[in-house]
Amino acid sequence: MYRLMFSDLDETLLVNHHVPEVNRQAIKQARTKGLKFVPCTGRAFNMIQEILKEIDAYDKEGEYSLCFNGGLVVENKNNKILHFKGLDYTIAKEIFEFGKELDVCVMVFTLDCCYLFHADESEIERKKAQKATFEVVDDYDLSFLKEEHIAKILYERADMDYLKSIGQTLPKVIVDSCEIAYSSSRYLEMNAKGIDKGYGMRWLTNYLGCNLDETIGIGDNYNDVEMIKTAKLGVAVTCAADDIKAQAQYVTEHDYDDGAVKEVIEKFVLHDGESNEKI
């Protein structure tokens, strides 16, 4: 019996930054079987409020979200932070300074805001579409965030080959101090060492007194791999690359824009022949 389903958002649950009705209804039905549906995203918590409303989890006790690739665990009621682990400022500064001469937009996420340095118009428009709290900063200086909680830093460019080439040249101090992942065909993401979606899954599962054998994890990209590997049932959306699919126990027949999440809920939760015990 599955009691927790962890789901990536972009290119998994969402279509054009919204939850399709077929997925909303499937999540609603899954709750009647005792399943908790947990968004597990690289986004900040303030970027998913509309999504939480769409899946009827907004500001609700006993509903949870994993953000910043597992670095932030929140109970949705009153935006209660249960756990946070971000980047040490000295490492954040190393990442920031290395990105200065690269042909990338450098994105620094704090708990409350996304700061864009060397911003490009496509990323600005994307942040508007995501309803993100963001600020474009012209002065390339990180010192004003020295006392802030820095969750993660991204290099953004819509050229994954270029980003992967950067990943091969990162200084040792960054490689040794960070978890590095790629996502959405445009991001190189750097979290604190040990922080990934699998870490967030394990933390929340333990907090709720559940077992990883009761979990489903579904995603499509490289920052989802640890979630897919950690879950008892790891699922890759059919749009995922072959090396991601190879990590999964199940690959969806439908793509994200055709109800991949609905497919998994129907196949493994609603039609499993038995109700799940409620948490």
Q: What is the pLDDT of residues 44-68, one digit of tens each?
A: 999 999 999 999 999 999 999 999 9
Question: Domains of the chain, with CATH numbers?
Answer: 4-84+196-270 (3.40.50.1000), 89-192 (3.30.1240.10)
Q: Is residue 275 pLDDT above 90, yes or no?
A: no
Report the pLDDT value the prediction gives residue 271, as an integer from 0 to 100.
Answer: 87
Report the pLDDT value the prediction gives residue 278, as an integer from 0 to 100.
Answer: 43
DSSP label of 158: S
> How confident is residue 276, by pLDDT bands cut at 50, 70 and 90?
very low
Q: Is residue 146 pLDDT above 60, yes or no?
A: yes
**Which tokens is 148 given?**
């802030």
Q: What is the pLDDT of residues 63-93, one digit of tens each?
A: 999 999 999 999 999 999 999 999 999 999 9
**Which tokens is 221 given?**
């990209």
Report the pLDDT value the prediction gives residue 33, as an integer from 0 to 100.
Answer: 95
E strands in the chain: 4-7, 36-39, 64-67, 72-75, 80-84, 105-110, 114-117, 134-137, 150-156, 178-183, 187-192, 215-219, 233-236, 250-251
Total-model pTM: 0.94
Of 41, 69, 37, give the one whose Cα is nearest residue 54.
37
**Which tokens is 270 given?**
């609603």
